[in-house]
Structure 1
Amino acid sequence: MTHSPAYLAQPDEWTDARLLHALEEVVEKELNRHLKVAKDWMPHEYVPWSDGRNFDGPLGGEPWAPEQSKVTDIGKIALVVNLLTEDNLPSYHHEIATLFGRDGAWGTWVHRWTAEEGRHGIVMRDYLLTSRAVDPVQLENFRMAHMSEGFESDNGHSMLHSVAYVAFQELATRISHRNTGHQSGDPVCDRMLARIANDENLHMVFYRNLLGAAFEIAPDLTMQAVRDVVVNFRMPGHGMPGFERAAAQMAIGGIYNLRIHHDDVLEPVLRFLKVLEIPGLGPEGAKAQEELGMYMGGLDAEAAKFDERLAARKARLVARGKA
C-alpha cells in the first residue's frame, strides 16, 4: 500500500459525504469482484427436513426435550448466540443503509449484503427447529427480547468507524460460526455453518479492501477509526439476554475468546493492511498508530494469561476425572 500525502485532503475537509463519494469507485470495483466469486446457495438444502416433526401446541405434536438434541452443550449455547446475532439483520441494515446510503454502488452493496446475510438466519433457524437442537420456546423468547432492543453501533455513526468495525466483525463472525460447527458434534450442523462462514469471509474481504482504500485517501482519520474500533470492540450480539454468561462459556469452550480474537481476527486484518507500518502519518494518526500497537501488545499479554487459566482449568478437570 502506497501513500502520497501531496494529493490528500486535509483531515478537517473529510466529511462522511466526501468520503463516501471518494470511495464510490472502490465500492463498485469490490462489488463486481464479490459478485464474480460469491456462489449462490439454497438454505433448504442444508436442513435435515426428514428429522422434523410437530411440536406441542395447536398441532398436538411432541414437546421439546434436551435429550432430543444431537448437539453438544457448548454447541447449543453458541448456536443460540450466533442465530440471535443474525436475527437482528433489520437493525444492521438500517444502520449501514443510513451511513452508506441506498444509491449507486453503495446502495447496491448494502442490499446485496443484506440479502446474503438473510440466508444465514433462515438456514440456522430451520436447522435448529427441524433437528430439535435447542428449546424452541426459549429461542423465540430470546429473539423477541433481542430484536425489541434493536441494535445501535458503538462507533459514533462515523462512516470510517463503521467500515473499520465490519472489517473485523465479519471475520469474527466467520470464526465464531466455523468453531461452533467444529464443536457442535453434528456433521450436518458443521456443514451448514461452514457454508455460512464462507459468506462471512467474502464480506470481510470486501470491507477489509475498502478499509485499505480509506487508508490511501485519509490515513490519519482511518488510523484513528481503526484504533477506536479495535480498543472498544464488542460483538453485535452483546445486548442479547444472557450474553455475558454465554460469551464466557464460549470462551472456555474454544468458540471465541481473547486468544482467538487477537490471533485470528485482529492480527490478520492489521497485518494484511500493514496498519502498524504505515509511514508519513500526521500527529493524530501517528498517536493512534502507537496506541494501537500498545493495545495489541497488551491484548496479547491478556490472552496469554487467559491461556494459562484455561490450561489450569483443564488440568483440574482431568485430575477429577471429568475431562
Structure 2
Amino acid sequence: MTVLEDFAPSAPLVRALDPVVAVEIERHMAMAKEWMPHEYIPWAEGSNYDGIYGGDAWDPSQSPVDGVSRTALVVNLLTEDNLPSYHRALTDTVGRDSAWGEWVHRWTAEEGRHAIAMRDFLLVTRSVDPVALERERMDHMGRGFDGYAEGHVLTTMAYVSFQELATRISHRNTGKHTQDPGLDRLLQRIAADENLHMLMYRNVMAAAFDLNPDASMKAVLDIVENFQMPGNEVEGFTRRSVAIALAGIYDLRIHHDEVLSPVLRAWNVFDRTDFGPEGEKARDALAQFMAGLDAAATQFEDKRAEKAARLAARI
C-alpha cells in the first residue's frame, strides 16, 4: 500500500498526461532504431542439446562466461520474461486507450524483442543451463508480478523511470563483465532501448510534477524508499544480487549515483519552489534517505575492498 491512498484517483491525471504521452511517442519513434534479433546471434556456434535430437547435454565447462556472468544473465533474462505481468500492470494503471494504450503496446513489443534475443544467444552459445533456465522461467512467471508501484499513475511513472535506467545499466555492465564481444554487443543494443524507455517515463513524470508537485514528490519518495527491481521474485534473488553487487555489475553505489541521482536531478526535485507543506516534507525525507543510502554504499564499497584484499593476500 502506498502513501497515495488518500489522494484523488489517478484517472484525471492519466487523462491530463495523455497529450504529453502523445508527444513522447513521437520523440521515441524518431529516436528508436529498428534492429533484428537474429542478426545478433552467432547461429553457426550452435549444436543440438540432448533430447529428441540426440545432442550433448549442457555442462558448465561449455559456457564461455564465468559464474557471476551466468548469474547476472539469468536474472536479467528472467526479469525480461515476466513481460505479460508488466503489461497487465501498466494497462491496469493507465488503460489501453488513446496515447497511453499506443505506448504500452509499443513498449511491450520492444521489451519482448529483448527476451527473444537474449535467450537465443545464451542457448546457441551454451552460456547457461537450458533446463535450469526453463524451469526457472516457469517458476518465475508462475509467481506473476506483485508491483508495489502499480495502481496509481504517479507511483507507476516514478517507478519505471528509475527501473528502466537500472535495467539499462544492469544490461550494460553485465555485457562488459562477460568479456564476450558478441554478448556485450547484444546487451549494449538492448541497453540503448532501455534508455529510450527511461526517457519516455522520466519526461511524463516531469510533466506530472508540474501538474501536481506535492503528490508527485510523495510518489517519488514512496518509490525510492521501497524500490525493488522487477526480478525480485526470482528464486534466490537476494543471494544472486549479492554476487552481482560484489562483481560491481549493480550495487548500492551504482543505484545511488547512476540511477536515483540523475533522475532526481532531471526532475529538479531539490531546487523546485512549487511545493506545499506536504511536498516539502517529502523532499526532506528524500534527502535524508539519499544521504543514508550514500553512506550505506560507501560502507559496502569498503567491505568489498577489504574482502578483495584478503583474497589477494592468500594468493
TM-score normalised by the shorter chain: which range applies?
over 0.9
What residue is the counterpart of 1:3 in the other structure?
none
Matched, 1:193 2:187: yes
Cα distance in 1 between the residues matched to 2:201 and 2:108: 14
The CA distance in 2 between the partners of 1:14 and 1:169, in whole Å, is: 25
Deviation for aligned residue 1:185? 2.0
Q: Could you list the runs of 5+ residues in structure 1 that have no partner in the other structure? A: 1-10
Unaligned ranges ≥5, structure 2: none
Deviation at 1:15, TM superposition (A): 2.7
Deviation readout 1:96-135 (Å, 9 max, x if unpaired): 0111111110000000000000010000000010000010
Q: Deviation per CA, 1:288-323: give whole Å up to 9, x if none.
A: 0110011001100000101100111111111112xx
Give the structure-2-normalised TM-score: 0.97
Q: Distance between the aligned counterparts of 1:281 and 1:58, measured in 2?
A: 65
Matches within 5 A, 1:267-306: 267-306=261-300
Contact 2:231 2:237 in 1 (8 A): yes
How do residues 1-323 of structure 1 correspond to structure 2 at under 5 angstroms? Answer: 14-155=8-149, 157-321=151-315
Aligned Cα RMSD in Å?
1.2
Quote how far apart the aligned CAs of 1:14 are: 4.4
Segments ≥4 residues shifted beyond 2 Å: 11-15
State the Cα deviation string for residues 41-76 of structure 1 (Å, max 9, x = none). 000011110010110011111110111111122110
Q: Report the Cα distance in structure 1 between the residues aligned to 2:130 and 2:9, rounded to whole angstroms.
A: 46
Distance 1:12 1:57, change over 3 A: closer
Aligned residues of 1:72 and 1:185 also touching (Cα < 8 A): no
Instruction: Report the AA paired with residue 116 of structure 2.
Output: I
Give the counterpart letter for 2:35 in structure 1: W
**C-alpha displacement at 1:31, in angstroms?**
0.5
1:162-196 CA deviation, whole Å, 9 max, x = no partner?
A: 00000000000000000000001211110000000
2:216 counterpart letter in structure 1: T
Equivalent pairs: percent with the same residue? Answer: 56
Question: How many angstroms apart in 2 are the aligned matches of 1:126 and 1:14?
Answer: 45
How far 1:203 moved relative to its partner? 0.3
Q: Is the 8 A contact 1:164 1:211 kept in 2?
A: yes
Q: Residue 8 of structure 1 aligns with which residue?
A: none
* Preserved CA contact (<8 Å) 2:166 2:259: yes
Q: Distance between the aligned counterparts of 2:147 and 2:198, measured in 1?
A: 18
The alpha-carbon deviation at position 272 of structure 1 amounts to 1.6
Alpha-carbon separation, structure 2, partners of 1:91 and 1:27: 22
TM-score normalised by the chain length of structure 1: 0.95
* C-alpha displacement of 1:156: 5.4
Q: Distance in 1 between the 2:234 and 2:61 partners?
A: 25
How far the C-alpha of 1:13 sits from its partner, in A, is 7.7
* Cα separation, 2, equivalents of 1:32 and 1:185: 36
Q: CA deviation at 1:278?
A: 1.3
